Structure formats: structure tokens, C-alpha cells
Amino acid sequence: MDADATVRPDRHGPAAGLARSPAGWVLAATLLALGGGAVARAASAAAAGDALWAAGGVVGALHATWSTGASLRRGRVGVDVVAVLALVGALAVGELLAAAVVAVMVATGRALETWAAGRARRDLHALLQRAPRVAHRYEGGGVRTVALDDVRPGDVLVVGPGEVVPVDGNLLTDGALDESALTGEALPVTRQVGDAVRSGVVNAGAALDLRTTTTAAASTYAGIVRLVADAEATPAPFVRLADRFALWFLALTVVLAGATWAAAGAARAVAVLVVATPCPLILAAPVALVAGLSRVSRRGVVVKGGGALERLARCTTLLVDKTGTLTGGRPELAGVVTSGVLPADEVLRLAGSLDQLSPHVLASAVVQAARDRGLGLVLPEDVEEVAGQGIRGVVDGADVALGNAAWTGVPPAVPWAKAARRRARLDGALTVFVSVGGRPAGVLVLDDPVRSDAARTVRSLRRSGIDRIVMVTGDRADVAETVGAVIGVDAVLAERSPADKLDAVRSERRRAPTVMVGDGINDAPALALADVGVAMGARGATASSEAADVVLTVDRLDRIGEARVVARRSRRIAVQSVVAGMGMSIAAMGVAAAGHLPAVWGAVLQEGIDVAAIANALRALGGGRRTVLAGGDAALARRFTGEHQAVRAALDDVRAAADAVGSAQPARAMALVREAHAALVSVVLPHEEAEQQELYPALDRVIGGTDPTGPMTRAHVEIAHQVRRLGQLVEEIGPGVPDGEEEAELRRLLYGLHAVLRLHTAQEEESYLSLGEDEPAPPAAEARRDA
């Protein structure tokens, strides 16, 4: 990252920046002239007072002339021309007090613009201000401070407490990190050895070591800095439209002032010019849109300029990629199917221990699943891995093998293996077979799960005005249709190449303004072609982030909905400010032309119009968010989210028992049924009861209404009832084996419990447990206001 190219905002904030800006100095000079003239007049020194007022008018005229010239050099013609005419006219006709007041008014308008823009950009600038310039690299047995551009992939860096991680890399030591600058999440997170860490996060604990994986220029934070710079440099279409309105307003002002001069003289014409200067038209629109950019940046959304924000507000169609966007983009353990030799947790523990030394993409998912369940992993010995086949080694003295069925010696025709394959095929998942001591032990089923916030985000987008949502993916049609049905999209386009995705974007753009969301290199062309391209930049490819108009620096899909709500609100406020400001100015010009508004009082009135327009534009910085769960309630949500890991382990036991009934040896099947029932009684029921007693009352208080968690409470009752029925049936069967009718009833109860618990857990995570943070205002309310 080039430090010289990085914007360094004023560390003392917008007010201090204003004090040192030209607008601040001009405002001070004109105020002194106006006040000094008033004091001189009061002291019967009329000549001195007039001289001070005239000097203030001259200073104002020179500043307005300089601003006009600067605008012309940028190809913009605005109402600064009216300010010059008003000041020169007031001085020419001897309205010295009016000239001094207009000079103060013009300087105040510029100062307000400078302050408001600085206030609106403050959060964007905060990203730039934190950009690191140096790194601490291990060299020759010590630590040396080097320029950031000197860091290369593979270097080992140390990051001290409170320091910003300068370059992307993988941790060599455990650490606690504050990721709020990139994600908007306030609480520090704990990362373990081997975890990927992005530049821009802050070390919130003891010093940590990491091995870099990229250069500084290619790191996450450098990319965000470039995006922010682009965002500030690109004017929005509405701002450019405001410039065209300014030309019309200028023409109207000059025509009306000329007509007034011809009909009633120069003094009244000056009054018309004074009341028309400066127009809030060119102040309010950019302030409101930049305020919107600033607000979404606090939520981990970098929008590349007001133009993209404005287009996002108008889009009504959403095209979305599946992998990494609607799904997590990384494989996760979906379940463990056992052969009956070992319990599911022991199969996973042995597999996770062996996979610690494997670089395979699925190995990290197996290891993470074992750690999430609190299983004690050990280092394997005599490890051998063959690409495309699997891995084998010794764990706790036992020979363990992972891989395909042939590598592990699992006969493909055995019932439990066939059931696992069938399950994987239906769910679009992968299977990893496990053998222990030369005997088949089980199958690990891994899939790419749908994000817990995906369905809620889709519903939120629909309420905010998106009327068509299409999933575009290169995945198989059966898998894509399943995901599309779960989240509720309008259409599914499967098995699409990058070229096919481009065709899909073109087709949808002919119908309506279109947003495309993706995260991979293959999505970059479609992102560039769409009206608004949104890249999941938290894990997405650099190419997609560069091609996109909007980049999510946090791995959360729901921030798209938040950004669209903010975009619509910002544009609405910009339009309100411009229309109201122009309307009041035109009305005041009519009053002045009729001779009822002297130049001095017209200047004061116009100042009030400017202040009102800019103050209204700054509303785009706030509002529209509410805290759903906070403090202790949010902690409860996080606690129960963590407990869902144990619930999922119990679900695996229930599914394994259901699959075993009627297919495995009856005695072994009943052993699995008893284990599943024990897990339901010891893990699931206490969890559901605790939610009912602790979490649901908190949700009722916050959500409001009449019994908002009533349907979920009914699910708790049904789960407890079915577990009780399962227990009664197990007790009736006793130590023996079930007959045909009892096997059918066991399967019905077990599969039913598995389905109900899986649905209930997903509903809780989607509707309740994901609300433990700031949320946008209800999009439906925003849509009603826009209408």
C-alpha cells in the first residue's frame, strides 16, 4: 500500500478541519467585518462602519469569484455566479450592509458544506486513517521494523497489542482480534493457529505471530482503501442531475432579476439576486448521498460512490450466485453415519485427529467439526496420504483410514453405506468413508450449508421493493433447485458457465434494473455487467471485488438488505432537500421582486433556507436502525447459538438410529436407539426448556405483540411429547429386539423427531438467534415512505 496515496483525514474531526479550511478563514473575516461595521455604526462612526461592510462584501465577492472559477475548471456551472452578481450589485448600488450580510451568508454556506461533507465522510475516513504504514518482521533472530511495501508472502510478522494487522496471513499463534473496522461486529473474536486473518483488524490481545500470504498492495485493507478512494471520487448521477438543475435555476434567477431591474430598478433586482444565493441545490444532494456511503461503511459495506448507491436504490431484480453467497462457501460436516462398530463422536474424533495433518480442502471441515463438539484430538503417527484416494495413519494405537470406499475397504452394498450415499446424493453432499482397525466404521457427510440468514434476507429484500430474485449457479440442477426452494427464490438457473451468467444478467436487465451478487472469479464479468454488482469480499476473490460496485467486507448476506434500505433513504432525503430548498428560494425571489423583501432580510432568509436544507440532508447519517437484542439478551442469543452444536450432534445420533432400524442387526439398532434417546433427554430437552424459560421471554419483550414466540413454544411442546413417546416405546421393547410393527413405529418417531428438530433449530437461528445485533429499520416501513 502506497502511504503517499492514502488520504489522511483530520484526526480532530470535521470541526477542526473546517477551522483550517479557506471557507473557515473567509467566514471569520466576513463575520468580523459585519460585526465591526455594526459596532462602528453604533459608535457614530458611519464612515468606518460603511468601510468595514464594504470590505466584507469585497472579501465575499472575491471568494465567490474564486469558487466560480474552480467550478468552471471542473466543468460545473452553478449558482455561485448568482452570488457574484448579488455581491457586485449590492456594492454597486450602495447596499453595503446587504453586501456584508450576503458575504457572511455565502461564506457560511461554504463552511456548512465543508463541515457537513466532513461529518458525512467521517466513517469512510476512519478506514483510511487506520491504514498501517510499517510491519514488524522476524529477521536474523530478531524483529525488524520494515516498510509495508517490503513485506513479501511467506514473511513471519509479529503484531503487538493494539496494532493493526498490516497484511493478510495465517496465524502462527492463537489470538483475540477486533474485527469491527471490517465487519461492524463490536465484540472481539478468538482465532486459532492456522486461521486466516485479514489486514485491517486490530490485535485485541497479547502479541501474535502470523505468516503472510500476500503482499501489502494485494491485502484486504489496501483493497478497501482503494474502494473508499473510488467511492469519494465518483459523483452520483443525482448530483450531476443537481448540477443541471442549478443551470436552470441560474437562468431563472438572471431572467427574473433582469425583469425586476427593468420594472423597478437595480435595488430591487439586487434583492432578488440576494435571496437566490446560494442555492441549497448543490449542497444538499452530495451531502445526503455521501452520508449514506458513510453509514453503510459502518456496517461493513463499501459502496464505490454515490452513483452505485443511487442505482442500488432503483434496482428491483436480484441475481445471486449460490456457492459462497447463499451458502457458506466452505464444506461443513452435515452428519456422521456409523456402521455400528463405534459411536458417532468416536468416529469423528479419530477422523479429526488424522485429518490434522492433511492439506485437503475437506480436512479442515472435519477437524473443525470435531473441535466444535469438544472432542479431544491427538496427533496421529505414520501418516500417509495419496491424492484422489485418501489418508491413513495411527491414532491412539489404532489404524485409521479416511477417503473413498475402496481406499477404506467399505463394501458399497452394505445398507448403512447405501443409506449414506443416498442421503448425500439427495442433499448434494459429499461422503468421506472411515475405517478403524481395518473394519468399516462410518461415513462423514459434508455439504455446503445454506446461510442461516439467507431466507430472512430474501424476505427482507422483497419487503424493501425487490420483486424478482433469481439464483444463478454452475452447480447441478437438483442441488440448485433444493437450495432455491429452501430460501424462496423466484427462479433457478443451474449449470451455468460464466458466459451463461452474462446472458442471464443481460436478459434480466432488459426487464428491470438488476443487482448481481457473487463471490468468485467466475462471477466478475457478471458483476461488472449488472447495474449494481455486489461482491462478498470477506472471502471472495479479488477479481470479483474489483469488478463490483458494492463490496461486503463482512461475511453476512443480510447487509445487502441494509445497504438497499440506506440507499433508498439517502436518495429520498437528497430529493427532499433539493426540492424543498428550491421551492423556498423561488418563493422568496417572488416576494423580493414584488418589493416586500429588502436585500438585507432576504440574505438572512436565504441563510435559513441553506441551513434547513443541509440539516435535512444530514438525516441520512442516522435513523433507520434499531437494536433488537442487546446486552444480556444478546448474550443469551449467543449462548443458545453455541448450544445448537450439541443439538446437531444429538440429531446425528437420531438419524443414525433411524437408519439402523430395519437395516442393521436388531440388537445393534436398539443400542443406537437407546443412545439417541439418551441424547434427546440429556441434551435436547434441557436446551429447549432453557430456551423456553430464558430466551423466549426476552424475545417477547423486544418483539412485542401478542405471544410472538407462541408457534415456537408449540414446537417445544411437540418435541417433548415425541421424545416421551419414544421413551415409552423403548421401555416397552425392553432388553429384547423389536418386532415388525415396533420397528415401523421406531422409524416413524425417529425420522419425525429428526425432521422437526432440524426445522425448529433452523427457524430459531434464522428468525431469533440472528437478531442479537443492530438491524435496519423494517424495510416495509421504508418502502411505504418511499411510495
Active site residues: 321
- CB burial of 242-254 (b: ≥16 within 10 Å; e: otherwise) equals bbebbeebbeebb
Three-state secondary-structure class, residue 624: coil
For residue 685, give the 3-state DSSP assignment: helix
Q: What is the C-alpha to C-alpha distance for residues 123 and 138, in angstroms, rounded to an integer?
A: 34
CA pair distance 102, 218, nearest whole angstrom: 50
Measured between alpha carbons, how far is 518 from 474 in angstroms, rounded to an integer?
12
Cβ pair 543, 562 in contact under 8 A: no
Name the strand (E) or helix (H) holding 532: strand 532-536
Q: Is residue 34 packed enough to be buried (19+ CB in 10 Å), middle (13-18) or exposed (0-12)?
A: buried
Asked if 586 and 593 count as a contact pair (C-beta separation under 8 A), the reply is no
Angle at which helix 96-120 crosses helix 122-129, to 10 degrees, equals 50
In the structure grid, which three cell numbers stand for residue 609, read together? Answer: 433556507
The answer to whether 372 and 324 have CB atoms below 8 angstroms apart is: no
CB atoms within 10 A of CB 670: 24
CB of 517 closer than 8 Å to CB of 321? yes
What is the DSSP-derived secondary structure letter of residue 753?
Answer: H
Distance, first Cα to last Cα, the chain: 44
Beta bridge partners of 434: 402, 442
- In one-letter notation, the amino acid at residue 531 is D
Closest CA to 570 of 302, 287, 282, 233: 287
| Contact status, residue 553 vs residue 535, Cβ threshold 8 Å | no
Contact 282/79 with Cβ under 8 angstroms?
Answer: yes
Cα-only R_g, the chain: 33
- Check: CB of residue 363 under 8 Å from CB of residue 355: yes
